[in-house]
Structure 1
């Protein structure tokens, strides 16, 4: 499977600056496509880290682009009623003509996320099981044959699935699990999801987890290539390494209220000149990653996009991985 590279739209970064305008985001997405990236992504949050709604943003992006894939990194499905989510995702897939990939998250275990769940009346406990049931319900609703009208799970019970609109892609868009490398996450990816989208802080940790997922996938009877190994990584590119690190430090402090040292222990962060950043990400490709989603760690990401396109993107595509595993539903 070839290495694909995507860019995260700065919906949260704009919101942090008090700007909710859509036009700059659409211009940014057009540039991503013009620079020959493979995909463009956007995040999701209501009150924890507010930004424009991902379904609305990606619908607009789908209307102004033609080849680039569209994705969520990551969507929190349980913040919406499962029937609403299924309908919105199907409509978005129709708009973009089967270019949609849905990276799904259960909610980060921080107080802000718990408050966000409470605001929409969804229990924070049991959120992983609730996510899995929502994914199963969506797949049932999107099935190309006769669809049972009722879905009954431990957390979700609803009717009317047989009357929902279908996505453009038969069976619906691929569903990737945005999770870490805990045993529970790896089992869920191996058994139920079309892709794995972690932000693990080292390539070595990534490689070990991916090999484990592949073993579990084979044991569960799923075919080789059923799961896309992806990566969510934050990158700050400047010619001077110290300045790049300083900019990324400012970014993490503003975004999370935490230091770069703290965040880089749990998430993938790279900084330096373009060649250094390409080398860092290439290690993940050698460890098995096949779809890299880059979040530019800057409140002014547009000025780094061209350099990433000219240096980081081709370097990653040239990288030969030691593990040629990958997926077909990217």
Structure 2
């Protein structure tokens, strides 16, 4: 009987050998955990389409931050739900805005926590779009005014930096947003505050649960004129290249699972850290299937996150972060 010259199974024989040669290592340091902060008192309200994720009022936020730290996580991404909204999203850049207050509090409770601030207007505008909307009387259509929106996004970024944010994460997909925010931060003296650019953000169907969480559903139309067509790949290079030129410190691909090819391409083409956003519907699908007993949640989550890292992600934003961090250190959450 003849045997193959190479026996690949030799290196899979035991758990110890498999661990010894493992190429991709997932750790809790890879994760950023999103938190949703709202107005009111004594609010801890589960988001129906994001089981296990909650809206917190500021007086209940500390318990969540303490749990995040206890899980072994060191980074959060802050989203805010304002008390009032208007056409320009003015509460996004108010010094006493919900995000700004949350940042100050987190930095007081956990000074070493890396605080990332989402920089967009959609949660704060009464129309739900990511910029200022102007109505074109000639065509009867409403359009997002790119350059006017940049002015307000710069004000938002500066107010977040003043509150103590370590990283500004502009998610609006306006043309020139990185350059405008970088210039604004530098002029305000925040040279050390980094920009995590949502460089490649697709007009995706995977954002539904987030829009419930952030109360940011557009009241008319859609975001296809400023977010990318899911069919396009080479366009992602142009978007990312612009952000690199304009001064981005990190490049993001959003969503993650359906765009791992894009993630791998950015990792190959650029030398900046690459971020994957494991978005809300990706999370919710796993939670729904697990609740029905259709899959092993722990195994699926860790395999999925490992796949994102293997594809090139240096950082993963995920609603699974607390559970994944505990699973990685051997805790049984059941």
Among 138, 153, 161, the alignment partner of 2:184 is: 138
Going from structure 1 to structure 2, the CA distance change for 1:75 and 1:38 (only over 3 Å counts) comes to farther
Deviation by residue 1:251-287 (Cα, 9 ceiling, x = unmatched):
xxxxxxxxxxxxxxxxxxxx85122111111100000
Say whether 1:85 aligns with 2:156.
Answer: yes
CA contact (8 A) 1:103 1:175 kept: yes
Secondary structure of the corresponding residue to residue 185 of structure 1: helix
Runs (4+) of structure 1 exceeding 6 A deviation are 15-20, 48-52, 237-240
CA contact (8 A) 2:32 2:317 kept: yes
Structure 2 CA distance for aligned equivalents of residues 185 and 83 of structure 1: 19
Query: What is the aligned partner in structure 1 of residue 300 from structure 2?
Result: 276
Query: What is the aligned partner in structure 1 of residue 215 from structure 2?
Result: none
More strand by share: 2
Structure 2 CA distance for aligned equivalents of residues 88 and 245 of structure 1: 45
Say whether 1:9 aligns with 2:9.
Answer: no
Going from structure 1 to structure 2, the CA distance change for 1:291 and 1:188 (only over 3 Å counts) comes to same
Going from structure 1 to structure 2, the CA distance change for 1:71 and 1:314 (only over 3 Å counts) comes to farther
Structure 1 CA distance for aligned equivalents of residues 286 and 47 of structure 2: 22
TM-score by length of 1: 0.54
CA contact (8 A) 1:26 1:61 kept: yes
Structure 2 CA distance for aligned equivalents of residues 70 and 59 of structure 1: 10
Q: CA deviation at 1:240?
A: 8.1
Query: What is the aligned partner in structure 1 of residue 170 from structure 2?
Result: 104
Query: What is the aligned partner in structure 2 of residue 293 from structure 1?
Result: 317
Going from structure 1 to structure 2, the CA distance change for 1:14 and 1:232 (only over 3 Å counts) comes to farther
Q: CA deviation at 1:20?
A: 6.3
Structure 2: runs of 5 or more not aligned: 1-24, 39-43, 49-53, 122-130, 132-148, 202-232
Task: Say how many residue pairs are matched.
Answer: 221
Secondary structure of the corresponding residue to residue 278 of structure 1: helix
TM-score by length of 2: 0.54
Deviation by residue 1:127-178 (Cα, 9 ceiling, x = unmatched):
323x23422322431xxxxxxxxxxxxxxxxxxxxxx4x34xxx22110111
Going from structure 1 to structure 2, the CA distance change for 1:236 and 1:58 (only over 3 Å counts) comes to same
Query: What is the aligned partner in structure 1 of residue 266 from structure 2?
Result: 213
Question: Equivalent residues in 2 for 1:45-194 (5 A)?
Answer: 47=85, 53-76=98-121, 78=149, 81=152, 84-85=155-156, 87-93=158-164, 100-106=166-172, 127-129=174-176, 131-141=177-187, 164=188, 166-167=189-190, 171-178=191-198, 179-180=200-201, 182-183=235-236, 184-192=238-246, 193-194=248-249
Work out which of the two has the higher radius of gyration on C-alpha atoms and give 1 or 2. Answer: 2
Q: CA deviation at 1:90?
A: 3.3
Q: CA deviation at 1:61?
A: 0.9
Query: What is the aligned partner in structure 2 of residue 241 from structure 1?
Result: 289
CA contact (8 A) 1:189 1:213 kept: no
Going from structure 1 to structure 2, the CA distance change for 1:16 and 1:231 (only over 3 Å counts) comes to same
